[in-house]
Structure 1
C-alpha cells in the first residue's frame, strides 16, 4: 500500500514536470524568435551528440583494433598493417598525345622551323604562296624595343634612313607584337636590309616582307587597306593599271605597284569603304575575269601545309590508351586514381565524369612556365611527381603499355626486397671499341681516351696527347659525315667490332668478314683466310689485292724468340681489328674495305725467359682493299666454266666450280657461313646436350615461333648445333664428367693488351691479346671453342628501334634536327679525337650515355643496363630527392622543346639513382642492433657479437681484450652529459650507472665500464672501427629482375610478322605488354595492320571500362581550354538562370499570398503603432506625475 502511494505520487510529480516543460516550450515558441531558437538548439544538440560519439570512438580506437583487427592478431599484440600490406594507395599516370591533331601538328612544324633556324637550315628565299610579290616593308620580329620617333631612329640606326613610316602590329599566330617599317619602293628595302646589322639586339630578326592573297596562312597578317589584283592579261601591259577601272575608281588608290611578270598589281586604298567596294568589284579585261583579294603580309616563307613530315597519318592514334585502361580494370583493379598528362588534348571517347579520372595539363606540373609548350617526353616525365594529389608511389605508363596478366603492387615493390627493377640490355659504348668494363680498370685504353668516356675514367690522366690522324686530326667528329656507314662499326650484322677477340665465341662473329671471331671460335675455318708465315729475316709482306683479312703464323717466331709481350701497328684508320692469340700462336688482322694500296708498319716484341732476352721483329705490310678494281682484275683472268656450287638442298647437292677463280670470290664474304649442306640428323636426346647448346636450341625455337626464322633456316641452325655438339664429343672422348660440359657463361669477360702489363697505347694501335684467364678456360681452348648464347646487340641497331613516348620522337625531322643541334652545342664540350665515330643521331642512346656519365662520376664506374619498356613504379619523394641532387641537369631537361642528347633519361636516371645511392652506417644503428635485450647497456654476450662484426673470424682472446681495452680507455675521457662532476672517481661511478634504470651489467673484466648508448656514441676509437668495418649500404632496398614477364614487340608494316608477334602474345601471355608502333602509315598495308591490331585489342580486352563513354557518344570538345571556356560560360549561365528562377518564384509567391502578406503587414504596423502609443502615454503620465509632484513640494 505504501509503495502504491509512493508510485502515484511519483507519477503526479512527473506529469507536473512534463506539463511545466510543455508550458515553457509553448511560451518560448510564442515569442517572436522562439521557433528559430528552438531549431538552432536542436541542431546544436544533434551535432554535439555526433561529436561526442566520434570522440568516444577515437578514444577506444586502439582497443577496438586490438579486439577486432586481424593485423593485431599476433604474439606482439601490435598492428603491422603498414608492413604486411603493399604501399597504398597507388595511382597510375599516363602521358598521352593525339598525334593527328592539326593544332599539334602546326606547333610541331614551328618547332621544326625553330631548330632549322638554329642550324641555319631554314633559308627559304622563294615565296611559293598564291600571288606572292615583294612588299615595300620590313618586319622586325619581335617588336623593336624603342619608342623613339622616326627622325631619331634615322639618326641612330642606318636601317631607318629611307623609312617612311614605323608601325606596330600583332602577329596573330604567335600572339606577339612586331614592328613594321615602310619604304617608298623595293629598292629602298634592299638597301635597308644591307644595314640590318645596325640593330644591336640579338633577339630581333629583320625580315623581308611579301604580299600574298592566301589569307589562310597561319603566319600571315591580314591587311585592311591593301588589295591584290590578279589575272591581268600580259598583252595589256602593267604601266597604267588605273585605266582598267571605271572612272569613279580612278582616284581612290593612294598607291599602285604592278608586277608584270606575274600579272599582279598591289592596290593601296585610302578608306575602308573603298576597300570593301573594290573587293566586290566585277572587272573583266579581254574576256578574262580579274580577281581581287585582301592582301596579307608574310615574312615566314615556309609552307607548313605542304610538308609531309607531320602529316596526320604519320602520327595516327591507334587508341592504345583505351585498351590500356581496360587492362587496368581487368588486371589491376586496386589502382586508386588515373591521371592522364596531356598538352591540353582530350580523347574523344574518354568519360570525363568518372571521379577517378583526372586530366592534367603541362601547366599544372611545370614550375617554370616559360619552358612551355614542350614536345619532349623526358621534359614531361621530369615533372610527373608534381601532379597535384598524386600518391607517394605511383605507376607511370605510356599509352602503348598494358597489362596482360594479374598484376599486384608486389610486382613493383615489396617491404622485404624493396623496389623491383626490370633491366634488359647493356648501355651503349661511350665510344667505338670501348666497352663499359674497360672504363677505370687501371689501364689506359686508347679507344676510351676521350671526353665522352671521361678519359677512360681517369686511367689516361696525364696522357691526353692524342694520336695524329693526318689531315683529319683536328676535326671535331660532328664535322664528319653524320651518315657514316654502319659497316665501319660492325663487321657483320649483330657483331660489333668490340666483340672480336673478347674470349667468347659469338655466332654472329663466326663468319669470314669478322675473321671467324679472330680465333675465339678456334682455327677450324682459318684455312679460308690468307696465311702469312712470319719470318725473322723478312721485312716486307704483301697481302693479295681486295683481301681485307689475313693472319700471321707466329709458331716459328715464338719457338725461336719466346712469347709475345707487346705488339703495335700504325695506320689505325685502315685496321678494323688486330689481335694475337697466344694459345693458337697466330696474329689476325681485319682491314676496312675500299682503301688504296697502303703500307702498314708493325712491331712485335718477344721475350725469352730461358735466355732472359728481348727481341723485336719489325716489318711492313702492303695492303690494298679496294675491291672494285681488284675484283675487275681478277674477273678478267677468270673463265666462265662452271662445275658445281654448294647449295642448300634437302634432296641433292650440285657442285659448280669456276676455274682459275680465287677462293674468296666463289662466295660472298658476309654470308659464307650460311651455305650449309644439311645432312640427316640422327635421333638424339636433347636432355643430354650441354646447357649452352640447349640455350641455342630454345632461342632457335623462339625465333621459329615468332616467324623470324623459316623452317629451312631452322633446320640449318639445328644441323649446325648438332655438328658443334658432335665435334666437341669427338675431340673429348674421355671427358664424361658433367663439370666439363658445363658452359663457362659466368666467366668474366676481359681483353688483355699484353701478358704482364696492359700496353698504354699512344701513337699507334696495340694488338689485343687473347690470353688464357683461368685453367678452366685454358682446358677448353685445347678443344673446340665454347659456343655461347647470342648476346643482345647494344648499338645503333638496337637504339634505332625508336624508343620514344610520342610519335615524333621515334623518327622524323625533329629527331634528326635536334641531334644535329646537340652535336653543335657539344662541339667544345666533348673533344673526341678518334676518326671512326658512331653516329650522333640517336638522342635516346645519347641521353642514356649522358646519365651514365654523370652516375659514373657520382656512384662509380659499373656496367649498367637499360630499364625495360614497361610500367614503372616511381616514388615521388625519391624523385624529388634525385632532382635536388642534380638540379641543373633536370632543369636543362625540362627546358627542351624536343628530346635531346643531354636529357636525363627518366627511368634510367631514377632506377640507377635508387640502386647507386648509399648511406653510411652510424654508431646509433650498430648500438641498437647489438642491444638485443633493449636494456640500454651492452652485455658481455652483446659485446662479443659486436666483436664478430668489427674483426675477422676466428676471434681470439687478444682480439676481445683489445676491444675491452678500447672501452676502458674511452671511459677515462668520458664525461656524461647529465653529470656536472669532474673528478675521476665521480666519472667512473657515473659510468657504472645505467641510463635505463638502476640495473647494471656485470662484466667478466672488473675495470670494464658500463657500455651504455651515450658512452658508446662518444667513444672515438669505436667510431673509427665502425667506419672501417661497416661499408656504406644501399639507401633503398632493391632487387633486379629480368624481362621474363615482359612482351615487347615492334609493330611494323609486315602483316605476316605482326600476326606472328600477336599470336605469340596470345600463346605466351606476359604481365607487361608493350606494342611499340613503328607502322609506316604511308603504305597500303598500314590499314590492314591497324585492323589486325584492333582485332587483337578487342580479343584481349573486349569489355568497356568505366573510363569510356558509351559507343554512341563522343566528347564535344577535344581540347581542355575549349572545355574550360564552355564550363565557364555554363556556370555563368547557370548562375543567372538560378537567380532568375529564384526571383520568379519570389514574385509568384508574392502574387499568390498578397492578401496574407497585406494582413501581416497591417498587423505588424498595428502592433508597432500600438506599442508606440502605449510608450507615449506612459511617458506622458510620467511627465505629468513629475510636474504634479513638483507643484506639491512648495506648498509643503
Structure 2
C-alpha cells in the first residue's frame, strides 16, 4: 500500500427505515396537500429499506478493508441487525450535525448532506455512500485520489437542456438564441440583450479571431524575410484576406462562416449527447424531477460564479470528500446551503451535493506570479531560459504546428526587451543555446520587467486550478447504474447484467410503483444481494439476534442508566470497604503521616 493510502479514511452513510411506523407518522404529519407538487419530492418510495445498507457494508468489508470507521447518519433509527458493539461502527443522529435544530425534522437527503462533513471525529478525507451503492470489486484510495493525479472525478451524462431546443452549450455563446432567452437558461446568458455597439464588438472580435487563423495559414512568399512577411500579413485588410480563401467561401462573410461553424458544432454535440444518454436519461427525467430541478438550479449558480460551460452530472457512486474543501464551498454559497438545510423534502432549489462540490473543486483558481511562471518553465533550474525551454513556452501559447512567425515574433520580443529593460546581465549557461541562436541570456529579472512578455505569459498562465484533479472518462468501466422498475422480467434482466459484468461501483436505484408487484421485486432483489454477498460482516449481529434498541434515544437512555448504576455500584463498594476496614485504614494513615 502506498504511503498516502495510509491516511485514515472513514465512510459516511445516510440511512432511513421508511417502513418504521413512527417514521411514517412523522412523515404524514409534515406532508402538505402539495404531495404531487413538481417542486417538492415527497415520494414514500424514496424511504423504503430493502437491506441495501447491510449488503453495502458487506461489500465494504470485502473490497475495502482499509477503511477505518463507518458512520451511519440516521434520524434516530437503528437497523435491527446492526452490531452496536463493533468498534468500527458509529451511529450519528441529525441533531448531532445540524447547526440549526429548527431545521429538523427533515426528510430531504440534500438537507442532510449539507451537514455530513461536521461529524465529530470524522477523518479529513472521507467517502460518502448512499445506502443503495455497493462495491463490486476491490477498491483502493487511489481510485479516488492520488498524489500525482489529485482528485479523480467520475462524470456521467451532460446536463440536460435548460429549455426545449436549448442545450446549455448555446447559452452565452455570443449569439441570440430565442429558445434560450428564458429564465431557466438565464436569458441566454445575456446574448439577446447586447447593445448594437456590443454586437459590433462581438462581430469584430470574431473577425479578428478568424483573421488570425487566416494569417497562420496563408502561404507566404518564402523569398521574403520572416519579419517582412509578418508585417505584410498584419497590414492585410479583411477584403484582401477573403481573396485568398477558397472560391466556395469567397461569397460568405467572416461572421457567417463563424456562425455556420458554431451551428454545426452545437448540432454535433447534441447528437453525441443523445447517443450517450439514450434511454437512461429518459428514465431519469421521468422519475427524478426534483433532483433534475436541483441540478439545474445548482448549475445556474455555478454559471454565475464560474462562467457558462457545459457541465456533466457526477456518476452515482461513492464520493471522496475533503472536509476543508467542503467548508470552503459552504462559505462561498452560505445562503444557498442554509436554505437547503431548511427544506423538509427534496426541493427544486436545493444545492445539489455532488455537482456543487466537484465543480467547485474543478473551477476554483489561484493567481500565479510571473516569477512562478518563469520557474515552471526553467526545468533545468539554471536561472535562465534555454532555447529548448523557450520552445516549450511557445508550444503552450500557440496552436501546433509552430510556425516560423510564432518563433520569430517571440524571439524579437525577447531581444527587444533585453535592449530596453534594465536587468542585471547574466552569463548564458553552457549548452543552453542552439548553434544558430541569436538570443541573449533570458533571466528571471528580464522576464519580470518585460511588460510585453509578462502580458502574454500572465494571460495564458496567470491562473491555475486551486486543486489538482483528473476527470475520468468512459466511466462505464468503473460505474454501473440501474433503475429497477415494476416489471419483474426487466428487474431480472438488469440484475443479471450486473452479475455478468461487475464494476467497482454499483448503484441500484428504485422506482417500483406497482404495489402488487412489490413483494416479488423485493424477493428478487434480496436474492441478488445474497448471491454476491452471502457471508455476514462484522457490522451485523448473528442472524438469530436482533438489536435491543430500535431508536438511538432508547439506546442513550439505557447507556445513561447503566452509567448511573455503575457509578452507584462503585460508590457502594467504596463505602462497604470503608465500613469494614476503617480501623486498619486509619492505623495505616497515622503510621504514614504521624
TM-score of the superposed pair, with normalisation by structure 2? 0.76
Residues 967 and 1115 of structure 1: is their aligned pair in 2 closer, same or farther, counting only changes over 3 Å? farther
Cα distance in structure 1, aligned partners of 2:318 and 2:56: 11
Deviation at 1:880, TM superposition (A): 2.0
> What residue is the counterpart of 1:1115 in the other structure?
547
> What residue is the counterpart of 2:480 in the other structure?
1047
Deviation at 1:391, TM superposition (A): 2.1
> What residue is the counterpart of 2:287 in the other structure?
801
Deviation at 1:1015, TM superposition (A): 6.3
1:315-464 matches, within 5 Å, as 315-461=47-193
Q: Is contact 1:362–1:380 with CA below 8 Å preserved after alignment? A: yes
Matched, 1:896 2:360: no
> What residue is the counterpart of 1:88 in the other structure?
7
Cα distance in structure 2, aligned partners of 1:357 and 1:921: 44
> What residue is the counterpart of 1:1059 in the other structure?
492
Residues 440 and 1116 of structure 1: is their aligned pair in 2 closer, same or farther, counting only changes over 3 Å? same
- Secondary structure of the residue aligned to 2:472 is strand
Cα distance in structure 2, aligned partners of 1:1158 and 1:385: 56
Deviation at 1:948, TM superposition (A): 3.4
Cα distance in structure 2, aligned partners of 1:406 and 1:964: 57
Q: Is contact 1:98–1:317 with CA below 8 Å preserved after alignment? A: yes
Q: Is contact 2:132–2:507 with CA below 8 Å preserved after alignment? A: yes
More helix by share: 2
Q: Is contact 2:413–2:452 with CA below 8 Å preserved after alignment? A: no
Deviation per CA, 1:114-145, whole angstroms, max 9, x where unpaired?
A: 868x99xxxxxxxxxxxxxxxxxxxxxxxxxx
Deviation at 1:1016, TM superposition (A): 4.8
Residues 1157 and 91 of structure 1: is their aligned pair in 2 closer, same or farther, counting only changes over 3 Å? closer
Q: Is contact 1:968–1:1008 with CA below 8 Å preserved after alignment? A: no
Q: Is contact 2:479–2:503 with CA below 8 Å preserved after alignment? A: yes
> What residue is the counterpart of 1:1102 in the other structure?
534
Cα distance in structure 2, aligned partners of 1:892 and 1:1051: 32
Residues 1057 and 1143 of structure 1: is their aligned pair in 2 closer, same or farther, counting only changes over 3 Å? same
* Aligned pair partner of 1:962 in 413, 430, 446: 413
1:1019-1098 matches, within 5 Å, as 1020-1030=451-461, 1032-1035=463-466, 1036-1041=468-473, 1042-1080=475-513, 1082-1083=515-516, 1085-1098=517-530
Matched, 1:849 2:296: yes
> What residue is the counterpart of 1:1147 in the other structure?
579
> What residue is the counterpart of 2:305 in the other structure?
858
Deviation at 1:113, TM superposition (A): 3.3
Cα distance in structure 1, aligned partners of 2:438 and 2:485: 81
- Secondary structure of the residue aligned to 2:443 is coil
Residues 958 and 1159 of structure 1: is their aligned pair in 2 closer, same or farther, counting only changes over 3 Å? closer
Deviation per CA, 1:237-266, whole angstroms, max 9, x where unpaired?
A: xxxxxxxxxxxxxxxxxxxxxxxxxxxxxx
Larger radius of gyration: 1
Deviation at 1:1006, TM superposition (A): 12
- Secondary structure of the residue aligned to 2:509 is strand
Residues 756 and 333 of structure 1: is their aligned pair in 2 closer, same or farther, counting only changes over 3 Å? closer
Residues 381 and 1007 of structure 1: is their aligned pair in 2 closer, same or farther, counting only changes over 3 Å? closer
Q: Is contact 1:992–1:1000 with CA below 8 Å preserved after alignment? A: no
Deviation at 1:460, TM superposition (A): 0.9
Residues 319 and 887 of structure 1: is their aligned pair in 2 closer, same or farther, counting only changes over 3 Å? same
Q: Is contact 2:293–2:348 with CA below 8 Å preserved after alignment? A: yes
Mark the runs of 5 or more structure 2 residues left unpaired by the alignment. Answer: 196-247
Residues 956 and 357 of structure 1: is their aligned pair in 2 closer, same or farther, counting only changes over 3 Å? closer
Q: Is contact 2:76–2:551 with CA below 8 Å preserved after alignment? A: yes
> What residue is the counterpart of 1:938 in the other structure?
384
Residues 850 and 917 of structure 1: is their aligned pair in 2 closer, same or farther, counting only changes over 3 Å? same
Cα distance in structure 2, aligned partners of 1:1128 and 1:394: 30
Residues 900 and 770 of structure 1: is their aligned pair in 2 closer, same or farther, counting only changes over 3 Å? same
Residues 1143 and 1000 of structure 1: is their aligned pair in 2 closer, same or farther, counting only changes over 3 Å? farther
Residues 856 and 425 of structure 1: is their aligned pair in 2 closer, same or farther, counting only changes over 3 Å? same
Cα distance in structure 2, aligned partners of 1:1049 and 1:1134: 51
Cα distance in structure 1, aligned partners of 2:113 and 2:53: 17
Q: Is contact 1:374–1:897 with CA below 8 Å preserved after alignment? A: yes
Q: Is contact 1:314–1:1080 with CA below 8 Å preserved after alignment? A: no
TM-score of the superposed pair, with normalisation by structure 1? 0.40
1:764-913 matches, within 5 Å, as 791-793=277-279, 797-802=283-288, 842-913=289-360
Deviation at 1:1023, TM superposition (A): 2.6
Deviation at 1:1098, TM superposition (A): 1.5
Cα distance in structure 1, aligned partners of 2:178 and 2:439: 62
Q: Is contact 2:314–2:354 with CA below 8 Å preserved after alignment? A: yes
Q: Is contact 1:968–1:1007 with CA below 8 Å preserved after alignment? A: no
Query: What is the Cα-based RMSD across aligned positions, in Å?
Result: 4.0
- Secondary structure of the residue aligned to 1:1148 is helix
> What residue is the counterpart of 1:101 in the other structure?
20
> What residue is the counterpart of 1:918 in the other structure?
365
Cα distance in structure 2, aligned partners of 1:1070 and 1:314: 25
Deviation per CA, 1:903-947, whole angstroms, max 9, x where unpaired?
A: 111112222222333344432322222333435x32655774576
Residues 341 and 791 of structure 1: is their aligned pair in 2 closer, same or farther, counting only changes over 3 Å? closer
Matched, 1:948 2:380: no
Deviation per CA, 1:206-248, whole angstroms, max 9, x where unpaired?
A: xxxxxxxxxxxxxxxxxxxxxxxxxxxxxxxxxxxxxxxxxxx
> What residue is the counterpart of 2:242 in the other structure?
none
More strand by share: 1
Deviation at 1:378, TM superposition (A): 0.8
Deviation at 1:451, TM superposition (A): 1.5
Q: Is contact 2:373–2:461 with CA below 8 Å preserved after alignment? A: no
Deviation per CA, 1:667-715, whole angstroms, max 9, x where unpaired?
A: xxxxxxxxxxxxxxxxxxxxxxxxxxxxxxxxxxxxxxxxxxxxxxxxx
Deviation at 1:1075, TM superposition (A): 1.9
Residues 1066 and 944 of structure 1: is their aligned pair in 2 closer, same or farther, counting only changes over 3 Å? closer
Deviation at 1:951, TM superposition (A): 6.6
Residues 950 and 1062 of structure 1: is their aligned pair in 2 closer, same or farther, counting only changes over 3 Å? closer
1:18-167 matches, within 5 Å, as 85-86=4-5, 88-113=7-32
Cα distance in structure 2, aligned partners of 1:423 and 1:1122: 42
Residues 310 and 381 of structure 1: is their aligned pair in 2 closer, same or farther, counting only changes over 3 Å? closer
